[in-house]
Structure 1
């Protein structure tokens, strides 16, 4: 079983540097690391190039023109390039715990996707956090009592407790697309993300709804599979209502495959 880690990012090179540092310290390295950049930022390219020969995993950087929020499209482009059996996704503002890859792989089962939790790094600590030296391991280690985190109970890693979380037949209100994983073949079967989603919101939950429509189940990773989220101001939600209508269509029509998805992603620049 091979695994790709997909990191979606937009103009946040300092955070990306920390995330790749955290990946390099994983107890289990992914076979591929794919940076899915929803834009074309020179600083992001410099960070990717600086790490390309330092980390054992195969490194891929895919980007496109900066034409607004097109996360669904860039994720489709990234997964088209993946050669792995299993896909793990995180956002470019989420720092993985050192057991993150291991936790997702250990719990990967046929007919199931996974979604994990996130611990929040407080906004007032982020500027100082991002300025830490790349050799400073302290920025990647958070204790339960760290003053710079909130929702700290999510930080507890107690693997045996996760056994008590049952598979879900419908999408959970706890689902967050910033920490999720699935089989590549299941993604292909629904034609991936819907490229019609533009602007913030619903592209990730729409995918999971169509997974469920195609017979998959969801499993929450609680007390494992942890990421640390760099809190930030809310994204522009001006297109949210349109995106919500697209998701509602998937629910009401029990849609499985989209017409403008993975296969069509190479047509857009």
Structure 2
């Protein structure tokens, strides 16, 4: 089964580099890595063009469109449509993943199911202190380092650092009452299930786009599996100047409509228009 990791990015070479350092350390590597680029400038292209030399054991492709503001849904659809893989992993380019992250998602790969997790968030100071060496050494996922850098703020965050044997962590995944909402920064699914709902709704900008998509997957019979405690990743802090309260309000209304109507198809996805008969 061919796999592809799709990583979204926008004008953030440092974060993307840290993300890829963690990807290179995976116990299971994807067949290809697609950088889904939401209109970054030449610095990002130059960095991506050099990845083949930096990571000769990894295969990259770069999907890009012109910068028209926050258009994550559109670049994701472009990456999904052009992918030749059966099973897709998704990351935002501002996260670093535990060495067993991709293997955990792959081990649970099943048609008719998506897997998704949650984040360990770094503050601005810890983000500035993060280096490739910290990621390579494994300290980025070390409880002592995370505690010293204020990332462990409650019991739930501590449990995300996998303090117990895998069997117990898996039991926590299964038994913890958490909503199976899709988190766009880290998830996986079969490509055919994504196409079943026509990908992401491109009218959605920042705020709720992943939740709306996840609800449509569930409406289509694709069940969610939450990996809250067995596939950790660390999220770098960054400003969100693209956040628009009016758009967020509109998105909440759309999410409510999708949930109550049971609709799974979007007419503003990979295919523009009604679902083909």
Q: TM-score range by the shorter chain?
A: 0.7 to 0.9
- Determine if the alignment matches structure 1 residue 257 to structure 2 residue 227: no
Q: Please list every run of 5 or more consecutive structure 2 residues that lacks an aligned counterpart in the other structure.
A: none
Match of 2:212 in 1: 206
1:1-269 correspondence runs (5 A): 1-53=1-53, 54-129=55-130, 132=131, 137-138=136-137, 141-146=140-145, 147-148=148-149, 149-150=151-152, 151-156=157-162, 158-160=165-167, 161-163=169-171, 165-166=173-174, 172=179, 175-198=182-205, 200-235=206-241, 236-238=243-245, 239-264=247-272
Q: Over aligned residues, Cα RMSD in angstroms? A: 2.4
Segment drifting more, 226-235 vs 215-224: 226-235
SS of the counterpart of 1:145?
Answer: helix
8 Å contact from structure 1 (residues 167, 220) kept in 2: no
Equivalents in 1 of 2:175, 2:3: separation in Å? Answer: 22
Q: In the TM superposition, what whole-angstrom CA distance separates every residue of 1:116-174 from its partner, at most 9, and x where no partner exists? A: 12212232122232xx3669733764311111233343111643231454499xx9266
Q: In the TM superposition, what whole-angstrom CA distance separates every residue of 1:202-252 from its partner, at most 9, and x where no partner exists? A: 111111101111112111113211111012334513321122222222122
Name the CA shift for 1:237/1:193 in 2 (closer, same or farther; >3 Å): same
Q: Please list every run of 5 or more consecutive structure 1 residues that lacks an aligned counterpart in the other structure.
A: none
Equivalents in 2 of 1:173, 1:4: separation in Å? Answer: 23
SS of the counterpart of 2:143?
Answer: coil
Q: In the TM superposition, what whole-angstrom CA distance separates every residue of 1:9-41 from its partner, at most 9, and x where no partner exists? A: 111110101111111111111011011111132
Equivalents in 2 of 1:33, 1:208: separation in Å? Answer: 23
More helix per residue: 2
Equivalents in 2 of 1:165, 1:154: separation in Å? Answer: 10
8 Å contact from structure 2 (residues 101, 232) kept in 1: yes
8 Å contact from structure 1 (residues 16, 47) kept in 2: no
Q: State how many pairs are aligned.
A: 260
TM-score by length of 2: 0.86
Name the CA shift for 1:222/1:252 in 2 (closer, same or farther; >3 Å): closer
Name the CA shift for 1:133/1:20 in 2 (closer, same or farther; >3 Å): closer
The CA deviation at 1:49 is: 1.4
8 Å contact from structure 1 (residues 162, 222) kept in 2: no
The CA deviation at 1:177 is: 1.6
SS of the counterpart of 2:183?
Answer: coil
Equivalents in 2 of 1:243, 1:39: separation in Å? Answer: 23
SS of the counterpart of 2:68?
Answer: coil
TM-score by length of 1: 0.88
